[in-house]
Amino acid sequence: MTLPPDHPIIAAPKVGVLLVNLGTPDAPDPTSVRRYLREFLSDRRVVEIPRLVWQPILHGAILTTRPKKSAHAYSQVWTEGGSPLAVHTRATAQAMQAAMGDGVVVDWAMRYGNPDIAGRLSAMKAAGCDRILLAPLYPQYSAATTATANDAAFAALAAMRWQPAIRTLPPYHDDPAYIAALKSSVERRLAALDFAPDALLASFHGMPERTLHLGDPYHCQSVKTVRLLREALSLPVHMSFQSRFGRAKWLEPETEATLAGLVRDGVRNIAVVTPGFAADCLETLEEIALRARDAFLREGGEKFAYLPCLNASTEAITLYQRLLSRELSGWID
């Protein structure tokens, strides 16, 4: 039997890096959003309610009403290149490919929707990658984000006869390179504003409070990120949690309530940053840059600036080069 020249036994093996983000609908319409929400909210790492209880709620109240509402929200932030989350994650992968050179194959995937993790892992294997670093782009670890991304990758590997060797990127919530990237990005964005904010609010995606008591480190890691960012910056830094979902108690303080409290305390001009999101998305562009801004101004605030995520900025590429090179030690020179 003759093996094709690109068979992994013959071709020089390569190292791959798969950047993974949460996922997003293919289009800002109710059908696409419904498909996305069904997959996302069926993940038992995300909604930890017994299946028999949750599925009727999901397929009843939620999937009949939320897709239309969310599709409208998505349509307010959608770009020519598609969903912001996909646009920024793709741009990050392209910039990282250029930064890491030909010796490494850099690709990207989404935990829900497209491009899916299993498909990209197969493509990387077909391209000759026999060692792959999975890099879920979440600075703070959570079972609902980091763990489920890794779960999906390992489920894909379970179907492979010849698996690549795998490493996973640890959370980087307190890594000096992450704090330096945030500091530089925040200072650069603040310098470009036409006003000087009285304070900075760091808003993180929320989680049900019980996940903290069950041992999820997300809350503690977010608190540590804020402490380090506060030490690095020279203006007051507050912290809050956004994007509540469902009836359970979620982490506090909540973002819009925090903004209202800051106005009551005399803060008139605010900048908001979302350090838990690697890339801008619905939750930052619609919920914060549009809705939280309106809420702040309604409460009596005067100036509001949303400071974008690291996205594919030079700060981000410097950060990921540092983090990824460390994890690739021994695999590449």
The distance of closest approach from Cβ of residue 211 to Fe ion in the complex, given in angstroms and rounded to an integer, is 13
Count of residues for the chain? 333
**321 membership: H or E segment, kind and range:** helix 314-327
44 lies in the binding site for ligand L6N33NVT (CB under 6 A) = no
Choose among Fe ion, ligand L6N33NVT, none what residue 89 binds, the Cβ cut-off being 5 to 8 Å by kind: none
Instruction: Please count the other Cβ atoms lying within 10 Å of the Cβ belonging to residue 267.
Output: 20
Ranges of beta strands (E only) in 129-198 are: 129-136, 165-168
Answer for which of 277, 296, 304, 320 binds ligand L6N33NVT (CB under 6 A) is 277
DSSP-derived 3-state class of residue 36 = helix
Q: Is 256 annotated as a binding residue?
A: no
Please say whether the beta carbons of 240 and 254 come within 8 A.
Answer: yes
Q: Is 283 annotated as a binding residue?
A: yes
Token reading at 183:
């500091």
Which C-beta is closer to ligand L6N33NVT: that of 218 or that of 320? 218
Rounded CA gap, 261 and 254, in Å? 10
Find the Cα–Cα–Cα–Cα dihedral 37, 42, 46, 52, rounded to 10°: 140
The distance of closest approach from Cβ of residue 119 to ligand L6N33NVT in the complex, given in angstroms and rounded to an integer, is 19
Of the candidates 205, 144, 153, the residue with the CA atom closest to the CA atom of residue 17: 153
Residue bearing tokens 């838990």: 276
- The region of 6-14, 98-106, 139-147, 233-241 touching ligand L6N33NVT under the rule CB under 6 A is 139-147
- The region of 121-129, 142-150, 225-233, 312-320 touching ligand L6N33NVT under the rule CB under 6 A is 142-150
Answer for which of 78, 178, 218, 304 binds ligand L6N33NVT (CB under 6 A) is 218
331 lies in the binding site for ligand L6N33NVT (CB under 6 A) = no
Interface map 93-132 toward ligand L6N33NVT (x if CB under 6 A)? ----------------------------------------
The footprint of ligand L6N33NVT on this chain (CB under 6 A) covers a number of residues equal to: 22
Using a 10 angstrom Cβ sphere, with 0-12 exposed, 13-18 middle and 19 or more buried, the burial of residue 23 is buried
Which C-beta is closer to ligand L6N33NVT: that of 11 or that of 57? 57
52's CB contacts (< 8 A; 6+ apart) are: none
97 lies in the binding site for Fe ion (CB under 5 A) = no
Q: For residue 135, give the DSSP letter.
A: E
Amino acid at site 63: L
Answer for which of 142, 287, 324, 328 binds Fe ion (CB under 5 A) is 287
DSSP-derived 3-state class of residue 318 = helix
**Residue numbering of the annotated binding site for Fe(2+):** 205, 283
Binding site for Fe ion (CB under 5 A): 243, 283, 287
Binding site for ligand L6N33NVT (CB under 6 A): 22, 24, 46-47, 66, 70, 83, 85, 138, 142, 144-145, 205, 207, 218, 243, 245, 276-277, 281-283
**Residue numbering of the annotated binding site:** 205, 283
